Amino acid sequence: MSQAFSAAATTLVIQGGTLIDGTGRPPVENSAIVIQGDRFKAVGKNGALEIPPGSEIVDVTGKTVLPGYIDGHGHWEDWFGELYLHLGITTCVNIELYQDGPWILAQRAGTNSGKIRGPRLWASGQALGTREAEAVRESARAARGEISVSSADEARTAVRKKKQDGYDIIKVNEFVPLNWLAFVVKEANELGMPVTGHSWDAIGSASAGIGGIEHIWSVGYSSITDDQKRRRIGADRLLRKIDAEQVGAHYEVNHYDHIIGAMVEHGVAWTPTVAKWLWPLSSNAERFWARAQEILADPAATKYFPAAFPYTVAQTRNRFERYNPEQLDLAKLAHENSLEFIRRFVAAGGILKEGSDPPQGMAGLQMHIGMAMDVEAGVPPMTAIQAATLNAAKTFKKDKDFGSVEAGKVADLAIVEGDPLKDIWATQNVKIVVMNGKVVDIGFHADWTNPIPAALPGHSVPKEIEISPVVVTQGSGSTLLKVKGKGMRPYLTVKLNGNDLETRFVRGELEAIIPAHAIENVGLYFVTVASPGTLGQQSYPAHLIVRFRD
């Protein structure tokens, strides 16, 4: 049956490909997708739709057409934009950031309007937490902060402030008491804002009305019946006393079904994010690694990828390479326990959502890795695709406009080489992206920069450093400076009064050579540690004194 259109509107037609529309319906071979403006006008079989004269035709015969992907668990950085587009991601759900304030809202306005290259953003800003969470204050999570509340009333006030400021989502961390969470959810729902977050008790969180639960460990902790034990393990993970890669060995698999039953009953979506910690144990690990290295080697992309990026991509792999046999056995058990929850959750009718959860790993690509690991767990490929499309849109109450290829919705597409229903890894083999009804450039560009840059997260650079020596004598020549700090990394650089020094990483510390000419004058000098390729990301200064010679 044909349908007529007005030729006055600009029309884009994607035709000939096999369409997987995100709804779960069977694929449509030799499909036609008619786009007018930024919306899908009609979707069907090629030849069954009347094409308006003057339409732009894009022939994608032999390729698979999917909805534009939604990274359902992102932590946005200013240089992610081209990486996301390259991987077919047209929406990033920014669940928590390192600030509440104008920067992420300006990023959202820029990407949504096309003035910043990248996907549209749905933003939460900082999560709601509590002042009593000492483990958070001492962990890497402290770098991005939280909105600390001490009562249900304060929590509701924070929700209203989020709405007033223009955020899309409320995120809560696991330390918010369940009775407060119920008030947060009620307030947020009245304001039309979805709520997602961490949990110690997924059954209690589901009963409180939360819309989404993030991470395998949230449901994994919940399986541990001894409340003190689960909280101790959770705190130890935050403090890195237990690796996240091994914590799953403590999950109590025989309690999974009670948790899953409550989540399914209350319609709670769940994001495993297992790829972040466990991808080296996947049967596809070498494919994952090869694709990441291919992206890292792109000469145009390396012009703006920060120095920290290759390190964060390799972080999980490096940790596994250091494991002794006992540690590796724990990680393998954690992997088995994690995939078992995924398998049971989906089999019971749970709403699976996927996301990449950077910075550890590669933003965007880790979402695709997660989809592949879901399939390894026994999830049907069609469901894995929905986890990164329609299910993510539903979780955040955006499915009226996003998540599937249906008439009336915003026209976002990822067009790939290969059949992801036969090999789910084809989802990342993106050849064409349509966003807001327009074909977008998915290449990397050496001259691309975000016009509203920001520093990398605080955990990439130690906040406080110690130096040795702290005093040198005028005219003493070049000096070896040793620099200590929490979380030193091989990519960091030592600076003296803002100028880079020759730096090397030695056994968890930095060593830098101060040339003689740099300290020939008496005075107070400022030593900092910085992350190359970023703006303003450096430690607090340590002070080096150059004293008079005797």
pLDDT value, residue 50: 86
Tell me whether residue 502 is in a domain. Answer: yes
Q: Which residue has the higher pLDDT, 535 or 192?
A: 192
Question: Is there a single domain that holds both residue 30 and residue 115?
Answer: no
Q: Which value, in Å, is the radius of gyration of the alpha carbons in the chain?
A: 25
pLDDT recorded at residue 1: 31
Average pLDDT over residues 253-260: 97
Question: Distance of CA 290 to CAs 297, 308, 322, Å?
Answer: 10, 19, 20
Strands 212-214, 120-123: pairing is: unpaired
Structure tokens at 502: 């020759």
- Indicate if 351 and 473 belong to the same structural domain: no
Inside any domain, residue 436: no
Taking phi over 0 as left and psi of -120 to 50 as alpha, with beta for the rest, 188 belongs to alpha
Tens-place pLDDT, residues 307-338: 889 999 999 999 999 999 999 999 999 999 99
CA distances (Å), 26 to each of 18, 29, 53, 394, 416, in order?
A: 10, 9, 30, 20, 17
Question: Domain check: are 43 and 76 in the same one?
Answer: no
Residue 550 confidence (pLDDT): 81
d(CA 53, CA 129): 56
Check whether residue 376 and residue 475 sit in a common domain: no
pLDDT band at residue 6 under the 50/70/90 scheme:
very low
Q: Do 120 and 236 share a domain, yes or no? A: yes
Task: Work out the number of other CB atoms within 10 angstroms of the CB of residue 182.
Answer: 17
pLDDT number for residue 7: 42
Q: What is the CATH number of the domain that holds 530?
A: 2.60.40.10
In a domain, 426, yes or no: no
Look up residue 97 and give its two tokens.
């950031």
Residues 363 and 501 in one domain: no
Final residue in a domain of this structure, among 343, 363, 392:
392
pLDDT value at residue 307: 86
What's the pLDDT at 2? 36
Q: Residue 92 falls within a domain, yes or no? A: yes
Q: Do residues 427 and 66 lie in contact, with contact meaning Cβ atoms separated by under 8 Å?
A: yes
Number of domains in the chain: 3
- What pLDDT, on the 0 to 100 scale, is given for residue 240? 79
Chain centroid to Cα 144, Å, comes to 14
% of the chain at pLDDT higher than 70: 94
Strand partners, 74: 94
Pair 104, 228 in one domain: yes
Is there a single domain that holds both residue 382 and residue 503?
no
Cα dihedral 354, 356, 361, 364 in deg (nearest 10)? 120
Reported pTM: 0.91
Query: What number of other Cβ atoms are within 10 A of residue 351's Cβ?
Result: 23
**Where is the domain boundary, 348, 366, 392?**
392
140 pLDDT band, cuts 50/70/90, is low
Indicate if 138 and 205 belong to the same structural domain. Answer: yes
SS3 call for 155: helix
Q: What is the mean pLDDT of residues 70-88?
A: 96
Choose one of 368, 392, 416: the last residue of a domain: 392
Confidence of residue 3 (pLDDT cuts 50, 70, 90): very low
Mean pLDDT of the 415-427 span:
98
Number of alpha carbons in the 13 Å side-chain half-sphere of residue 116: 28
pLDDT of residue 4: 40
Is the pLDDT score of 58 beyond 90? Answer: yes
Do 298 and 383 lie in a common domain? yes
> What CA–CA distance (Å, rounded) separates 311 from 358?
12
Quote the domain boundaries for residue 528: 461-547
Angle, helices 178-190 vs 152-165, to 10°: value is 30
Judge if 93 and 151 occupy the same domain: yes
Cα gap 466→123, rounded to integer Å: 37
* pLDDT exceeds cutoff 70 at 264: yes
| CB neighbour list of residue 441: distance below 8 Å, 6 or more residues apart | 85
In a domain, 241, yes or no: yes
Position 431 in a domain = no
Is residue 149's pLDDT more than 80?
A: yes
Amino acid present at 164: Q
User: What CATH number is attached to the domain comprising 106?
Assistant: 3.20.20.140
pLDDT at 455: 65
Check whether residue 79 and residue 52 sit in a common domain.
Answer: no
Q: What is the pLDDT of residues 168-202, one digit of tens each?
A: 999 999 989 999 999 999 999 999 999 999 999 99
- Per-residue model confidence (pLDDT) at position 138: 55
Q: Cα separations (Å) of 501 from 480, 496, 516, 541?
A: 11, 7, 12, 15
Domain-located, residue 454: no
Adjacent-strand bridge partners of 506: 509
pLDDT (average), residues 438-465 = 86
Q: Which CATH number fits the domain that encloses residue 45?
A: 2.30.40.10
How far is the C-alpha of 334 from the C-alpha of 373, rounded, in Å?
14
